[in-house]
Amino acid sequence: MLKVNVMEEKYSDIEQAILSEYKYGFVTDIEADEAPKGLDENTIRFISAKKNEPEWMLQYRLKAYHQWLKMEEPSWANLKYDPIDYQDIIYYSAPKQKKKLNSLDEIDPELRRTFEKLGISLDEQKRLSGVAVDAVIDSVSIATTFKAQLAEQGIIFCSMSEAIQEHPELIKKYLGSVVPVTDNYFAALNAAVFSDGSFVYIPKGVRCPMELSTYFRINAENTGQFERTLIVADEGSYVSYLEGCTAPMRDENQLHAAVVELIAQDHAEIKYSTVQNWYPGDKDGKGGIYNFVTKRGICQGSHSKISWTQVETGSAITWKYPSVILKGDHSVGEFYSVAVTNNHQQADTGTKMQHIGKHTRSRIVSKGISAGFSNNSYRGLVHVSKNATNARNYSQCDSLLIGDKCGAHTFPYIEAKNNTSVVEHEATTSKVGEDQIFYCNQRGIDTETAVALIINGFAKEVMNQLPMEFAIEAQKLLAISLEGSVG
């Protein structure tokens, strides 16, 4: 009996402990080139002109803008937030650069220090890590590393603005082919004002020799970040892509509305991993990033594969459904997700698997962990269309609750129109078992460590999918974002 009491006391101690500081909350003092606040046709023309874009790109943006005006902000998600004033956002902010850079040495030293602080070295000395990085600060891509080596194999890895200038035929062909401008409110907004992002093209039969990575950072105040990523994997190619993000701590909410499009041709494979660590707001729910992202891939060719892995620990609000359209026969879609919410964070995330081709397979593993006053929802759709013979889906979504003030929600949609398909869905909700903690305590492991251990085990299935460099970071992140919430 005594032992139990001691444990309970310890619980409340920990409960009172405050979340550890957001490590990436600093602001860098860099002169920025900004568009005036607000959004109208002029803003779009401004952005387009700044980037020296061809006429077709401007038209694309304007079309999206007019579409956006006609649309309404979606309200179906299980999220609560004050209405966003779209006229109070700076849609373009770029660190000031005097001229086009020829080598990385010319980058503003302040900026370089920023990325070093974030643990991302832009220097190619870090060759050993074998990761090519495209860094995007506020709205503009700063530097892309390892470009030359990749080019030798015909791989294009550059910023979106560069791609628009240098590979217009590819951009024209693929941009908006998976996420059309009419897709949804935030996608339309993004198409109108996106300022940069990454573009990857892997030619036929090439296996990308290193992990490609983009690091996003919002720095300036009152800005929104709207980046656009497009990855095209041609026949028989393979690429693994990583994405990471951070932002300074500010009291206002900042908007991040990105669009990611993936295209996999015959026998191609794309693996997309995200560690999302935008500033989540303080412990009273003040500030933080609104993360409204549209991510979708299409398995265009037969035997192609797209795999999404995400670790979501940041953002005040997350609205994100990385999806796969399984169009090619025998194509495979995967979604692995760990979403952690603490304090007043809200997450409505999940996936869509559209089975169109024959013998298509998909797998969904979603792990939600809620603590504090947060709400964590899984929302997913598995659609098997009439002709998707022998389609197969397996979904598993588990939720873990820590504390009695948080919520966990599961909203799966399963639509099966083919009688040869097999669809399974399973979901459980539970708390961290007291007996499990007790077992650990008994063996001299303190409660906090025990919980970290249990949570790591809970999320292991997803963590295993992450590339090595990311897995370690993600594991630490998981422990940090839940620190002090055990009770």
Partner 1 sequence: MSTVDYYIEQLNTIQAAKQDSPLAPVRKSALDTFTNMGFPTSRNEEWKYTRIGSIFKKEFRLQNEDITSFNQSSIDAVRLPGHENANELVFVNGRYSEEFSKIISDEIIVTSLEAAASDEYADIVKAYFNSSSKYLKDGINALNAAYAQGVFIYVPKAKVVPHPVYIYNIVDAVADAVCALPRCLVYVSEAAEVSFVETYATLGASESITNQVTEIIVAENANVSYCKIQNDNSKASQVSTTHIHQVGKSYAETVTISLDGGIVRNNLNIVMGAAHSEAHMYGLYFQNGESHIDNHTIVDNVMPHCQSNELYKGILNDRSTGVFNGRIYVRQDAQKTNAFQSNKNILLGENATVNTQPQLEIFADDVKCSHGCTVGSLDEEGIFYLQSRGIPKEVAMSLLLQGFALDILEKIKIEHIRTYVQELIAARLTTQI
Q: Which residues bind partner 1 (CB under 8 A)?
A: 76, 384, 386, 399, 401-431
Give min distance, CB of 476 to partner 1, in A. Answer: 25
Q: Which is nearer to partner 1, 116 or 426 (CB)?
A: 426
Number of C-beta neighbours around residue 468 at 10 A: 8
Pick the closer one to partner 1 by CB: 61 or 383.
383
Query: Would you say 220 or 401 has its CB closer to partner 1?
Result: 401
Torsion of CA 90, 215, 299, 304, to 10 degrees: 170
What is the per-residue DSSP string for 187-213? HHHHHHH--B-EEEEE-TT-B-SSEEE
**What H or E segment, with its residue span, contains residue 165?**
helix 160-166
Least CB distance from residue 378 to partner 1, whole Å? 9
Nearer to partner 1, 129 or 429 (CB): 429
Q: Provide, rounded to whole angstroms, the least separation between the CB of residue 75 and partner 1.
A: 11
Cβ contacts of residue 105 below 8 Å, gap of 6+?
A: none
Residue 222 falls in which region: left (phi positive, over 0), alpha (psi -120 to 50) or beta:
left
Q: How far is the CB of 311 from partner 1 (least distance, A)?
A: 22
CB of 158 to partner 1, least distance (A): 42
Nearest approach, Cβ of 183 to partner 1 (angstroms)?
18
Beta bridge partners of 215: 135, 244
Q: Dihedrals φ, ψ of 78, to 5°?
A: -85, 60
SS3 367: strand
Our CB check for partner 1 shows the closer of 40 and 424 to be: 424
Residues pairing with 368 in the sheet: 339, 399
Strand partners, 266: none
Task: Write out the two tokens for 444.
Answer: 């001299």
CB of 463 to partner 1, least distance (A): 23
Give burial (CB, 10 Å; 0-12/13-18/19+) of 10.
Answer: middle
Q: Is the dihedral of CA 269, 151, 211, 368 positive or negative?
A: negative
CB-nearer residue toward partner 1: 38 or 403: 403
